[in-house]
């Protein structure tokens, strides 16, 4: 309060001075009152996930004062007058308002709930949609801002991943095993969403790394400097740390297609944008220092693999400034209720854009009403961008490299080096995960799940398994029991020892496998291994050729075995990655073939019929995958497959009689595999296989083409061909598979709700056998009994089968129908076959 005292003795001059003083004081009071500031700040988050909502509109109601939240969802508004409420809105969420208190500074946080509201398209009576011209100019300038146009760059990245169990059903929570968990966690602060549902964190990781990119050839590498991983079932952070960094969390909207969870989604600024998207020009806004167009994007067809949401495009340059895009649950995906990608881009000194911050959310729904859902959150922040000369290609040999002390860092180090501090929710998540993974019932189930998925159960420095080899039953062995082991990285990071022993109660034979592998160099993956094996096998169904087809292999080894034999192998193998993507291997292999069926071949030197033979082989192979991503899983090399370029492999084998073998021959083969993105038509995969056998050999040495008499579908076989139906000494085959991803069935109203997807197959085989390899196989044995031989293809007539089918039936099952188009005159030919399979696909 200001008080003004007037003198009683009046003087005109003093009066003038007094008036000026009074006016000055009144002006001061007025200005002081007028310049009073009210500050309102807070954070806007998603009510279901707790994640920040960037770019949301915050407005002091009844004024023009407002702003958009930053990438962390924060806002701060000041005003000289205090309105009665504040309003927060964002597309795809319910608008929310809160009353303001009469205080100079206050904090108001908002949790917005997703809305089912969908914006209707504007109808333009004449002229073109004004958003189209903006998109057209943005597409025309893609090359100016696509980071792939840079020769090379590197960034310093911070990546954070959290996985939670959510949407816990009442039935699920009432299970005794679940109640044992919740009783332990009751003492910890429970994490809930805005609707009061509990969220149960099961995994949390942080990674500090350097990310390197080079063009021509396009290569990526991440060096993990520090990583902290905690989670249920996580016993060794080395493997997990390789897949939780930036190399697996990269999303570039300047590509036409973005691969997310093995599905290809079309970008809103793809070259063919008009065939997939509609757009609305919503506003012209200021983002930072840039004036931007704000556009709403949404798919033309709701079940297409496309995004809906908002993008911001710079008015001056037509570069992407921000994106906030969602893949809604109406999209033809399984289990996925929602995928959300938020990204903030900044220009480099050369012009192309680098994402400075990215946030990805993947929400997996309940598989059944009695289970729970899953929520995965990924956050990546990049800074310290450097442009320069690219590193040599040898630098990129290993896609992800761990520093020796990657898992050794104090809490103080993390506090000082995180690009963004952990929130109170993050700290609560860490505490809950650390407690959860120590609960005995949780450890029991997590170890059981790993055992089922990998086939091995870890017990200290030894892994016991594989469980599919514990029990078999067939007509040769009867009941077969087996047990095996392998050492893990806790035993040694230089040695891998494996063993397996089985016994058949009908044939009364032991079978075994024993191997020792020495890892000589992890950077240029170099190993030397020695293996000795005695096992029962089948002609054309050898274990070595069916690795990776475990279900088909298991089905083929139960029941009646086709042309079984005992094989004894001793193998010395060397392999080395010569440079990025090129793997060289060399083998020396001694093998013995002892048939358990009526088999003879003519030895031209002795003119005798023999039933068994031995081979000594020298083998060499080259395998090249230009953009294949490889990680080192403990003591194994694991491929995540190629993204664009094909996988090529060339094999050569030489049969050596002078080293103890009974046969001299040469075998040469070529293999090519590629995944093709066909845009809106779906995805194709093809395998080209060609080979030739030089020399005179018995037919088990030839290429015995893999048939399929089981009920189960496999892409490795000809599904209307019988086992051992055809063999060739020179051949070329093409197996082509196409997945329409809902392209056809999405247009049928009654079918599209089921989310079924059409698939197609075409398998073609050309093959032949030289006369000398036909004449050495007798039709009768030495005692005059007829012998079963092998079938041959007409060199001028291909074997052709065509197939079509439906996948995603009840989200798990697939049914294929195959028609055999040629070689129908055989009495055992199957002109039509139905195959089923089960798969977990998104």
Instruction: Give pLDDT tens digits for 83-129.
Output: 888 999 887 788 998 988 888 888 889 988 877 544 444 444 556 88
Q: Of 303, 339, 347, which Cα lies nearest the Cα of 321?
A: 347
Backbone angles phi, psi at 663, to 5 degrees: -135, 150
Is the predicted pLDDT of residue 695 greater than 80, yes or no? yes
Averaged pLDDT, 613-636: 88
Q: Is the pLDDT of residue 64 over 70?
A: yes
Closest by alpha carbon to 755, among 745, 768, 764?
745
* Residue 190: other Cβ atoms inside 10 A: 13
Provide the pLDDT for residue 181. Answer: 61
Q: How confident is the model at residue 258 (pLDDT cuts 50, 70, 90)?
A: confident
Residue 307 three-state SS: coil
For 771, the enclosing helix (H) or strand (E) is: helix 771-775
CA distances from 186 to 7, 179, 192, 373, 436 (A): 74, 10, 13, 21, 11
pLDDT at 530: 97
How many Å apart are CA 364 and CA 338, to the nearest integer? 7
Q: How far is CA 173 from CA 178, 179, 199, 559, 590, in A?
A: 6, 7, 12, 42, 58
Q: Are 596 and 612 within 8 A, CB to CB?
A: no
Contact yes or no for 615/591 (Cβ under 8 A) = yes
Distances (CA, A) of 448 to 263, 383, 625: 29, 41, 34
Structure tokens at 763: 């398998």
For residue 45, what are the contacts with CB-CB under 8 A and spacing of at least 6?
A: 51, 52, 53, 73, 109, 110, 111, 112
pLDDT score, position 374? 79
- What lies within 8 Å, CB to CB, of 113 at 6+ separation is 47, 48, 93, 94, 194, 195
As a whole number of angstroms, the distance between CA 633 and CA 596 comes to: 39
Helix (H, G, I), strand (E, B) or coil at 449: helix
305 compared with 573, residue with greater pLDDT? 573
Spell out the domains of the chain, with CATH numbers in brackets: 38-112 (2.60.40.1120), 131-443 (no CATH)
Of the ranges 623-632, 661-670, 733-742, which one carries the lowest mean pLDDT score? 623-632
State the chain's mean pLDDT as an integer. 83
**pLDDT on residue 8:** 36
Structural contact between residues 675 and 647, judged by C-beta atoms closer than 8 angstroms: no
Mean pLDDT across the stretch 769-798? 84
Instruction: Name the range with the highest mean pLDDT among 60-64, 308-312, 640-644.
Output: 308-312
Query: Does residue 664 contact residue 656 with C-beta atoms inside 8 Å?
Result: yes
Contact assessment for residue 648 and residue 821, using Cβ atoms and an 8 Å cutoff: no
| Cα distance between the two ends of the chain | 70
State the pLDDT at residue 117.
45
- Top pLDDT among 247 and 486 is at 486
Cβ neighbours of residue 559 closer than 8 Å, sequence gap 6 or more:
473, 474, 475
Q: Is-contact 651 668, C-beta < 8 A?
A: yes
Q: Is 742 exposed, middle or buried (0-12, 13-18, 19+ CB in 10 A)?
A: buried
Strand order through the sheet with 66-68: 66-68, 57-60, 85-89, 96-99
**C-alpha Rg value of the chain to the nearest Å:** 34
Return the pLDDT at 113.
85
> Does the structure show a pLDDT above 90 at 65?
no
pLDDT tens-digit profile of 473-529?
999 999 999 999 999 888 998 999 999 999 999 999 999 999 999 999 988 899 999
Percent of the chain at pLDDT > 70 equals 84
Residue of 632, 230, 631 whose CA lies nearest to 446: 230
Q: Read off the pLDDT band of 614 (50, 70, 90).
A: very high
Q: How confident is the model at residue 139 (pLDDT cuts 50, 70, 90)?
A: very high
DSSP 8-state secondary structure symbol assigned to residue 808: E
Average pLDDT over residues 818-833: 91
Strands (E), 61-116: 66-68, 74-79, 85-89, 96-99, 105-107, 110-112
Report whether pLDDT(547) > 60.
yes
Least confident span in 261-275, 446-460, 497-511, 648-662:
446-460
Is the pLDDT confidence value at 560 over 80? yes
Q: For a pLDDT cut of 90, what percent of the chain falls above it?
A: 35
DSSP 3-71: -----SS--HHHHHHHHHHHHHHHHHHHHHHHT--EEEEEEEEETTT--B-TT-EEEETTSS-EEE--T
Most confident of 226-235, 582-591, 777-786: 582-591
Please determine, for residue 247, whether its predicted confidence score (pLDDT) is greater than 70.
no
Rounded Cα gap, residues 145 and 803, in angstroms: 44
**pLDDT, tens digit (0-9, with 9 covering 90-100), for 191-220:** 554 444 566 788 888 889 999 998 887 888
- Mind listing the pLDDT tens digit for each residue in 273-282? 988 899 999 8
Residue 793 tokens, joined: 């293809």
Residue 377 has a pLDDT of 87
Per-residue pLDDT band for 180 (boundaries 50, 70, 90) equals: low
CB of 506 closer than 8 Å to CB of 480 = no
Which DSSP category does 127 fall into?
A: S
Q: pLDDT tier at 175 (50, 70, 90 boundaries)?
A: low
Query: In whole angstroms, what is the distance from residue 693 CA to residue 688 CA?
Result: 17
CB atoms inside a 10 Å sphere around CB 479: 12
Section 764-776 average pLDDT: 92
571 has a pLDDT exceeding 90:
yes
217 prior amide bond cis, ω within 30: yes
Residue in this structure with the two tokens 């023009």, named with its chain if needed: 64
Structure tokens at 404: 């020796």
Cβ 93 vs Cβ 310: under 8 Å: no
Q: Is the pLDDT of residue 20 over 60?
A: no
CA distance 471 to 484: 12
């Amino acid at each position: 309060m200001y008080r003004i005292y007037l003198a009683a003795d009046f003087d005109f001059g003093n009066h003038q001075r007094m008036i000026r003083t009074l006016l000055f004081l009144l002006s001061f009071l007025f200005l002081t009152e007028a310049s009073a500031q009210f500050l309102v700040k807070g954070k806007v988050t998603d009510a279901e996930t707790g994640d920040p909502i960037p770019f949301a509109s915050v407005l002091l109601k009844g004024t023009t004062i407002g702003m958009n939240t930053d990438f962390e969802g924060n806002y701060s508004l000041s005003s000289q007058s205090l309105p009665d409420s504040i309003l927060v809105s964002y597309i795809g969420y319910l608008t929310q308002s809160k009353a303001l208190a009469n205080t100079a500074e206050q904090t108001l946080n908002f949790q917005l709930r997703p809305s089912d509201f969908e914006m209707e398209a504007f109808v333009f009576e004449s002229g073109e949609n004004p958003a189209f011209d903006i998109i057209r100019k943005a597409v025309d300038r893609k090359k100016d801002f696509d980071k792939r146009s840079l020769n090379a760059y590197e960034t310093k990245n911070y990546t954070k991943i959290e996985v939670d169990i959510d949407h816990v059903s009442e039935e699920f929570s009432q299970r005794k095993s679940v109640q044992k968990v919740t009783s332990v966690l009751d003492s910890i602060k429970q994490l809930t969403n805005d609707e009061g549902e509990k969220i149960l964190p099961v995994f949390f990781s942080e990674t500090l790394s350097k990310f390197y990119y080079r063009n021509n050839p396009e290569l990526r590498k991440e060096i993990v400097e520090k990583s902290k991983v905690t989670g249920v079932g996580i016993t060794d952070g080395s493997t997990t740390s390789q897949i939780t960094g930036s190399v697996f969390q990269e999303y570039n909207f300047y590509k036409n297609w973005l691969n997310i969870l093995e599905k290809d989604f079309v970008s809103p600024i793809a070259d063919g944008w008009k065939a997939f998207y509609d757009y609305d020009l919503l506003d012209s806004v200021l983002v930072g220092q840039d004036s931007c167009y704000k556009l709403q994007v949404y798919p033309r067809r709701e079940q297409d693999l496309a995004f809906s949401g908002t993008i911001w495009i710079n008015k001056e340059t037509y570069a992407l400034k921000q994106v906030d895009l969602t893949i809604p649950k109406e999209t033809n995906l399984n289990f996925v209720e929602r995928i959300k990608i938020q990204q903030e881009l900044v220009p480099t000194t050369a012009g192309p854009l680098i994402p400075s911050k990215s946030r990805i959310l993947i929400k997996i729904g309940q598989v059944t009403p009695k289970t729970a859902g899953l929520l995965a959150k990924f956050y990546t922040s990049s800074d310290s961008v450097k442009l320069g000369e690219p590193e040599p290609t040898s630098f990129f040999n290993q896609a992800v490299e761990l520093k020796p002390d990657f898992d050794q860092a104090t809490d103080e180090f993390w506090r000082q080096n995180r690009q963004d501090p952990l929130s109170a929710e993050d700290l609560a998540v860490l505490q809950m995960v650390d407690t959860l993974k120590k609960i005995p019932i949780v450890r029991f189930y997590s170890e059981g799940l790993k055992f089922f998925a990998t086939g091995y159960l870890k017990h200290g420095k030894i892994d016991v398994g594989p469980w599919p080899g514990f029990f078999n039953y067939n007509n040769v062995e009867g009941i077969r029991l087996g047990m095996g082991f392998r050492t893990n990285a806790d035993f040694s990071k230089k040695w891998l020892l494996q063993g397996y022993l089985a016994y058949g109660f009908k044939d009364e034979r032991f079978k075994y496998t024993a191997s020792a592998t020495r890892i000589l160099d992890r950077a240029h993956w170099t190993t030397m291994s020695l293996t000795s094996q005695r096992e029962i096998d089948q002609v054309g169904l050898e274990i070595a050729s069916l690795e990776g087809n475990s279900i088909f292999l298991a089905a083929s080894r139960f029941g009646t075995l086709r042309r079984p034999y005992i094989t004894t192998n001793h193998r010395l193998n060397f392999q080395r990655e010569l440079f990025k993507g090129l793997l060289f291997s060399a083998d020396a292999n001694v093998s013995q073939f002892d048939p358990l069926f009526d088999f003879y071949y003519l030895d031209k030197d002795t003119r005798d019929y023999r039933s068994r033979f031995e081979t000594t082989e020298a083998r060499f192979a080259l395998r090249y995958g230009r953009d294949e991503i490889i990680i080192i899983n403990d003591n194994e090399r694991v491929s995540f497959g190629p993204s664009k370029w094909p996988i090529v492999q060339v094999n050569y084998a030489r049969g050596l009689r002078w080293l103890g073998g009974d046969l001299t021959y040469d075998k040469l083969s070529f293999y090519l595999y590629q995944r093709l993105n066909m845009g809106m038509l779906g995805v194709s995969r093809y395998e080209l296989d060609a080979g030739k056998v030089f020399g005179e050999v018995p037919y088990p040495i030839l290429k015995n083409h893999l048939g399929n008499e089981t009920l189960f579908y496999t892409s490795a076989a000809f599904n209307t061909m019988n086992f051992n139906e055809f063999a060739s000494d020179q051949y070329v085959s093409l197996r082509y598979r196409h997945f329409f991803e809902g392209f056809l069935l999405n247009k049928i109203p009654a079918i599209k709700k089921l989310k079924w997807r059409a698939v197609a197959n075409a398998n073609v085989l050309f093959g032949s056998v030289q006369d000398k390899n036909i004449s050495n196989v007798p039709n009768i044995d030495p005692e005059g009994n007829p012998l079963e031989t092998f079938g041959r293809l007409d060199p001028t007539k291909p074997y052709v089968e065509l197939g079509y089918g439906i996948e995603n039936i009840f989200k798990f099952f697939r049914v294929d129908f195959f028609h055999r188009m040629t070689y129908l005159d055989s009495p055992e030919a199957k002109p039509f076959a139905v195959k089923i399979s089960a798969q977990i696909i998104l």
